[in-house]
Structure 1
């Protein structure tokens, strides 16, 4: 019975009794048929946001790793007792599971180290808990007119691919409390300002489908851009002023400063990573100040002080 692990004390239950019970449940079980044909299957969902790894203004998307938990009741899986049993995630192919998907996802994958990150837990009343760990790159339409003092509102949507609202119903298990992890996220360029959940329907030509939506607001951290954009730019401007301290006859020195300014500006604005721009600009200022001091001392020695 290496596939089944009792979660609590089973009293008189032991492996020799539990395994035949599970095998009996699976006998005649058709995973292609949804449970409860007398009405729609109610599927409760909750999310843990493990991380938001990247937010791209260029591609209008963000990448997040989430733990998605789905819970529903399948009367075909009722067994005696009042406990639950965890089933090896690889046996998910034996059970009916919802066809939930992320409609705005550009790319996504299920983590599989060291095995596929799935969890199946069956309760004695037939309730099934299905959890999985996913990383997805999800579209987010951004309004950058107020950049870098902007706020972006992104969503994470969950829909049923093939089952319409007559077949399944989606709901958040605990409302806004169904989402965990956003409050503790630490992002370099953004902070999570607020979030809330909603229940909706997706309307397509083929019908109406259940949809759950997580809305969250991202406020850009202005201090990050002051340090990484404005401060280096100001330092470059100040650096250009050094040329006014040099004698008009010192053409090579003035040319060197202008060249350094242009190269620094290109590195800062065009080449890419700007994490060391401030340090580079400060170093260039110190070099030019040293040049100016040296030239001034030479002119004083020859009686050509400005």
Structure 2
């Protein structure tokens, strides 16, 4: 009886297991038909498992977990009773702020607007006893979001026209608080600063671009600035855009300025630069000199070619006028002239004188030709006696000219009743410089020369004037070789001017 009961209980126990395993066995039997179907997570390769295990964040130790709450506790402690609206040491002593600059880029300079651009990192250091703490942390570095909770000097730049604080990707501002209360504030900014340029010796000029800063509300009894051995970091390998200038160094100055609000300490440092001469030489000096020398070509052109010489002279004058205007195009509207303006003005005078030389030569030549034409016009109208007398005088004039005698032509009236005027030539030998006696001088009888009537006391500008160069206070100038004089006089004068000009300018 007992064995039957045990068999019954055993069958009851095994029956539920067979019911559960039956479908599973059926499922397994059908699985070969669906080998690509996978339920659950895919099996990962061994390499991916190792990489995933390496990138899993490790649990920090107890010491590392305790640093963050400790830093937060220190920051909350020093800021709990901190009033950022009041400066450190108020009512006791002035706050001393040490400044330092790091220049990322300098330039370009706008001469027309008299301003320059610069990208700097501005460092300010001071002591605030309210921020002291005693802990293992030597320094707390705070970003721009916390800077507004601390007292910061209200420094502003006096000669800045536009100032931009960088805020990409976060505000480029940082505060570093040391355990002894020392605070370092760093900010990056771009400044367009104005500078007064004195351009008298342009383009051989040197300038000092200033950057002045001061406190806006704290006068000298409350806030003082100082240089730390005048530290100024300059990174010339960065994107400096000086272009026409060479950087020569820096200098600084400290002064007290009195205003209706009080006496304020103003700190100024200067970027010293000198101009590069190459750009201005190519743009101004070379074209001016070449144009001036081009105007001298007319001295080698025949005086009968009036159109060619006139067009060349006028073109040279117009080119110099254009160069003078172009040199002032990108120049501030100052009331004084520069050495470049003086050079261009002298070149303009040379071109104008070359044009006037041909005008004088053409006028004198034309006047002489007109006088000869009038003589030929009156010649057929005289009678036989007057004609013979005129021929005799003409032969005497020719003989006197052959013997290198000085002669002058006068208009005389014939003996006839027609009252017409006919030429009369009288020959006189030029007196030697040492002979006290002799016939009257030619130069006292030049009243008939219309073109030298006003200058007869000083100049004798007749075509065939011969004899001594200076006689009776008159300088003898030949007309026909005037171009020969100019071919030598103009280049030599321009050469002397250039030597004196560059000696003076380079020694300024």
Shift of 1:182: 7.1
Q: CA RMSD of the aligned region, Å?
A: 3.4
CA distance in 2, matches of 1:150, 1:157: 22
Name the structure 2 match of 1:172. Answer: 227
- Residue ranges of structure 2 left out of the alignment (5+ in a row): 1-62, 331-508
Name the structure 1 match of 2:242. Answer: 187
Change (3 A) 1:235 1:30: same
**Which of 122, 127, 131 is equivalent to 1:73?**
127
- Residue ranges of structure 1 left out of the alignment (5+ in a row): 1-9, 274-306
Name the structure 2 match of 1:227. Answer: 282
CA distance in 2, matches of 1:153, 1:52: 13
Task: Give the structure, 1 or 2, with the largest relative contact order (CA under 8 Å, sep 6 or more).
Answer: 1
Shift of 1:73: 0.8
Secondary structure of the structure 2 residue equivalent to 1:149: coil
CA distance in 1, matches of 2:109, 2:173: 27
**Which of 235, 253, 263 is equivalent to 1:198?**
253
TM-score (ref. length: structure 1):
0.72
Name the structure 2 match of 1:289. Answer: none
The structure with the largest helix share of the pair is 2
Change (3 A) 1:81 1:151: same
Name the structure 1 match of 2:27. Answer: none
Matched-pair contact (CA < 8 Å) for 1:159–1:202: no
1:27-84 superposed Cα distances (whole Å, 9 cap, x missing partner): 1211101111220111000011222222122222222111110001111111223611
Note if 1:147 corresponds to 2:195: no
**Which of 73, 79, 85 is equivalent to 1:20?**
73
Shift of 1:240: 8.1
Matched-pair contact (CA < 8 Å) for 1:188–1:224: no
Equivalent residues in 2 for 1:76-225, closer than 5 Å: 76-79=130-133, 80-81=135-136, 83-175=138-230, 178-181=231-234, 187-225=242-280
TM-score (ref. length: structure 2):
0.45
Matched-pair contact (CA < 8 Å) for 2:109–2:242: no
Change (3 A) 1:66 1:150: same
Equivalent residues in 2 for 1:39-50, closer than 5 Å: 39-50=93-104
Matched-pair contact (CA < 8 Å) for 1:72–1:129: yes
Size of the aligned set, in residue pairs, is: 258
Name the structure 2 match of 1:269. Answer: 326
